[in-house]
Amino acid sequence: MSLIEEVIILPKDGKISDSVIRRLPRYYRFLGELLEEGITKISSGELSRRMKLTASQIRQDLNCFGGFGQQGYGYNVSELRNEIGGIIGIDKQIGTILVGAGNLGRAVALHLNFEKNGCRLLGVFDSNPDLTGVVLGKIKISHVSELEKFCKENKPGIAILCIPRDGAKELCDKLIELDIRSFWNFSHYDINLEYENIIVENVHLGDSLVTLTYRTNNQ
Ligand code: NAI
């Protein structure tokens, strides 16, 4: 018998709202940190206090996926984390390539834990022939001319773009032709404007800094 007493409100069209999706990584990371602290169960009140979200917000979010809390018990941290990991698809380990092995590309390739975030870095590419064969962590940089062969053999699902705006459109055309549908886009090229049915996460570190500047100036 289910101990879940909350009303489960599933989205009418079966789609999870973007704002809930954007909170998922934070839940996942936060629950992992709780486990590292040895916390195995937590009440929704305590979770909300620690995450600085309202308990009702947390319940609503988790209800989108079927609700995991048990009345009078709270949440089993490990179970909830596994459920959220399953929803994200963390274990699928999507094959990923990175293009542009300059300062930014090297930092991303070397310092990001891809596996922990649901991806596996398969290859790094750059147009500068001087970088071909240079070892980056466990991966040797390949020349971009190898992209087609590599993608046909390895079928990566995600491309990380760490190149300047110039040349980004041409590269995207190529990658989309090679069946890549998801982009983690650090280049300042606006992929979404050009293509349909492409999933893009744009990263603009500068925007985050500008937000901080605004907030600092408008305390
Ligand atoms: P960088 O000049 O150190 O590296 C760029 C690398 O991309 C070079 O190795 C170059 O050979 C390669 N490249 C250029 N065009 C290419 C192409 N069509 N195909 C394959 N490789 C290509 O520059 P850095 O500092 O790594 O920055 C890269 C880009 O990212 C810059 O345009 C910069 O504006 C942007 N950027 C974006 C940030 C963000 O938050 N979105 C933050 C920092 C930089």
Could you report the per-residue pLDDT of 132-148, keeping only the tens digit for each?
A: 999 999 999 999 999 99
Tell me, what's the pLDDT at 69? 64
Q: Is the CB of 144 under 6 A from ligand 1?
A: yes
CA of 175 to the centre of ligand 1 (A): 17
Is the model's pLDDT at 8 over the cut of 50?
no
CA of 151 to the centre of ligand 1 (A): 21
Task: Pick from 7-11, 72-76, 184-188 the range whose average pLDDT is largest.
Answer: 184-188
Which residue type occupies 48?
S
Ligand 1 mutation target, pool 134, 186, 188, most atoms within 8 A of CB: 186
CA-proximal residue: ligand 1, atom 17 (nearest)? 127
Which residue shows structure tokens 């998922």? Answer: 24
Is the model's pLDDT at 2 over the cut of 50?
no
Long-range Cβ pairs for the range 43-47 (8 Å, 24+): 43/74, 43/75, 44/69, 44/74, 44/75, 46/74, 47/74, 47/75
Ligand 1 mutation target, pool 97, 99, 104, most atoms within 8 A of CB: 104
CA-proximal residue: ligand 1, atom 37 (nearest)? 186
Average pLDDT, the chain: 89
Percentage of the chain modeled with pLDDT above 70: 90
Distance CA 75, CA 50 (A): 14
Strand ranges inside 75-178, DSSP E: 75-76, 94-99, 119-126, 135-136, 139-143, 158-161
Q: For 42-46, 87-91, 204-208, which range has the lowest pLDDT when averaged over its residues?
A: 42-46
Q: For 5-14, 15-24, 101-110, which range has the lowest pLDDT when averaged over its residues?
A: 5-14
Is the model's pLDDT at 155 over the cut of 90?
yes
Is the model's pLDDT at 3 over the cut of 70?
no
Ligand 1 mutation target, pool 126, 146, 151, 163, most atoms within 8 A of CB: 163
Q: How confident is the model at residue 94 (pLDDT cuts 50, 70, 90)?
A: very high
CA of 211 to the centre of ligand 1 (A): 23
Percentage of the chain modeled with pLDDT above 90: 71
| Contact partners, residue 119, CB within 8 Å, separation at least 6 | 93, 94, 95, 96, 158
Distance CA 155, CA 84 (A): 26
Q: Is the CB of 133 under 6 A from ligand 1?
A: no
CA of 102 to the centre of ligand 1 (A): 6
Q: What predicted TM-score, i.e. pTM, was given to this entire model?
A: 0.90
Average pLDDT over residues 48-73: 80
Q: How confident is the model at residue 62 (pLDDT cuts 50, 70, 90)?
A: confident
Cα distances (Å, whole numbers) of residue 215 to 26, 32, 164, 205, 210: 22, 30, 29, 16, 9
CA of 204 to the centre of ligand 1 (A): 13
Tell me, what's the pLDDT at 6? 35
CA-proximal residue: ligand 1, atom 19 (nearest)? 127
Is the model's pLDDT at 156 over the cut of 70?
yes
Tell me, what's the pLDDT at 93? 97
More confident residue, 15 or 203: 203
